[in-house]
Amino acid sequence: MKQIASFCIDHDTLGKGLYTSRIDGDVVTYDLRMVVPNAGIYLDNAGIHTFEHLFATYVRNSAYSDQVVYVGPMGCRTGFYFLVRDSLSPAEVILLTQETMDFIAGFEGPVPGAQRSCECGNYLNHDLAAARAYARDMAAVLRGWTPAMLDYDYDK
Ligand SMILES: [Zn+2]
């Protein structure tokens, strides 16, 4: 089998940030990298679960909801994939992601979709404090992020 594109990037030199992972037709996959890969520290499962619910809730209620395809965590627990239509410009994706981090960082109250009867498959496995901390950290990382920086090879 051929190796898929996202496995070909050099994970050992990848820093936290937002990157264009791949483009399939009109769907663009963004890589929201939240911890440095293979550095010994990984996102906690309950924290990413809550982060996922809040991330999806925010972007699907935003002005760009029709262009959002999918939001989901990476199995390696180092970040998220964010899939959108290419009608959303890179600058808009950066702005939307920054706004989402601010939303999660300041979120209070019950986690949306986290009731047992709702769509959640592991409703006890949530950690809002961790999700907020991840979002605060990423808000700082993404401050001043530009479309040029979406390139994995961009020299920071
Ligand atoms: Zn859930």
Instruction: Say how many Å lie between the CA of residue 48 and the centre of ligand 1.
Output: 10
What's the CA dihedral at 52, 55, 61, 67 to 10 degrees?
A: -90
Q: Determine the structural domain holding residue 49 and report its residue range.
A: 16-139
Instruction: Identify the CATH number of the domain in which residue 84 sits.
Output: 3.30.1360.80
* Confidence at residue 116, expressed as pLDDT on a 0 to 100 scale: 79
pTM reported for the whole predicted model = 0.93
Question: Does 1 fall in a domain?
Answer: no
Work out how many domains the chain is built from and give that number: 1
What distance lies between CA 68 and its chain's CA centroid?
Answer: 12
Question: Does 47 fall in a domain?
Answer: yes
Question: Does 153 fall in a domain?
Answer: no
Question: Does 6 fall in a domain?
Answer: no
Instruction: Say how many Å lie between the CA of residue 120 and the centre of ligand 1.
Output: 4
Question: Does 21 fall in a domain?
Answer: yes
Instruction: Say how many Å lie between the CA of residue 114 and the centre of ligand 1.
Output: 6
* Cβ burial 84-100 (10 Å sphere, 16+ → b, else e): beeebebeebbbbbbeb
The series of mean pLDDT values per 10 residues for the chain, 156 residues long, is 77 90 97 94 97 97 97 97 98 98 96 81 94 98 97 84
Question: Does 109 fall in a domain?
Answer: yes
* Confidence at residue 95, expressed as pLDDT on a 0 to 100 scale: 98
